Amino acid sequence: MAAPSFSTPFQPFVYQSPQDAVTPFQILGSEAQIVQIMLKPQEKVVAKPGSMCYMSGSIQMENVYAPENEAGVWQWLFGKSVTSIVLHNTGSTDGFVGIAAPTIARILPIDLAIFGGQMLCQPDAFLCSINDVKVNNTIDQRARNVVTSAEGFLRQKISGQGLAFLVGGGSVVQKNLVVGEVLAVDVSNIVALSASVNVQIKYNGPMRRVVFGGDNLVTAVLTGPGIVFIQSMPFQRLSQRVARAVTSPNVRENPKFFLQIAIFFFIAYVIVVSSLILTDI
C-alpha cells in the first residue's frame, strides 16, 4: 500500500539496521512534526501512547506495559504513562504509520549504533523506535543530581542498536564536545546526551530563589567527550507561559503568588504561637 503524498521540504530517509534490514521513513512538517515510517509485513514500531496520528489498514495497534521500566510507579505518581503502544504490520503488503510530536517540537532520528548503543534523555523525549531499542526510566541515586521537578528526578535511558526518534521543543541544537570541553546548559533545555558525557548539577544561588523567583536556577555542567542535543523551548516552560497568559493578573505576574502567601501566613502563625508561649512563661 502506498503512503499518502505530502508536500514537504524534507527528503525521505532510509534506515539500515545491523541485520541489513531497510526501513524508509520521512519527517514531515517544520514545527509540530510527524515522522512517517514504512513497515514491511511483520515489522513493527514501538511508540509513546497517544502519539499515533494515522496508519494504514494493515497496521494493528496494541497497548503494552514495558517490563524493563524500573521507575514505573514514580512515572505514574508524576502523571506519566507507564505503557507503550506497538504498531504491527500484520498484512501481506507494505504499510505505514504516522507518529506525531506531542507539542510544537522537532523530531530527531537517533541511530543508537552510532552513539555507542546508549543515550540519556529527558523523560518525555522518547517518541518511537524501530528494531532493537529499550527504554528505561530510572532514578538518579546521586543526591546532588536530584532537582525539584519530575524531569530532574527521573532519567530516561534508551539503549540498543536500533533507531530511536526523540522530540525537542522549539529549535534543536547539536553540540559535539571534545575531550575536556565544558558546556553549561539549563537542565530543562537538555533533550539528550551520549553516555560518555559527564554531568554535574550546579545550583546558581541559594534555594530561597525557588520560592521568590529564579529562572535558570539549576544548571547542568557537561564535560566531554560526547554529543548533546539542546532544545530552545522545553514543554514545561511553554506550558508555564501559557498558564500565565490565561490566569489572573496577580498570578500572571508572579506564578508563585499563592506559595508566597502560604509562606507568609505560616511565618505569621509561628510568630503568634511563639509570642503566646513566651507570654505564658
The string of pLDDT tens digits covering residues 142-161 is: 444 455 443 454 478 888 98
For Cα atoms 194, 127, 72, give the angle at the middle one, nearest 5 degrees: 85
**Which grid coordinates are listed for 12?**
525521505
Looking at residue 242, its pLDDT comes to 72
**Which grid coordinates are listed for 177?**
564536545
* 86 closest CA partner among 118, 124, 43, 126: 43
- pTM beyond 0.85: the answer is no
Greater confidence (40 vs 19) lies with 40
- Give the SS3 label for residue 172: strand
Q: What is the mean pLDDT of the chain?
A: 76
Section 207-214 average pLDDT? 52
Looking at residue 274, its pLDDT comes to 75
pLDDT band at 224 (very low <50, low <70, confident <90, very high): confident
H-type helices in the chain, by residue range?
72-77, 150-153, 235-246, 249-253, 257-280
The string of pLDDT tens digits covering residues 7-17 is: 344 445 666 66
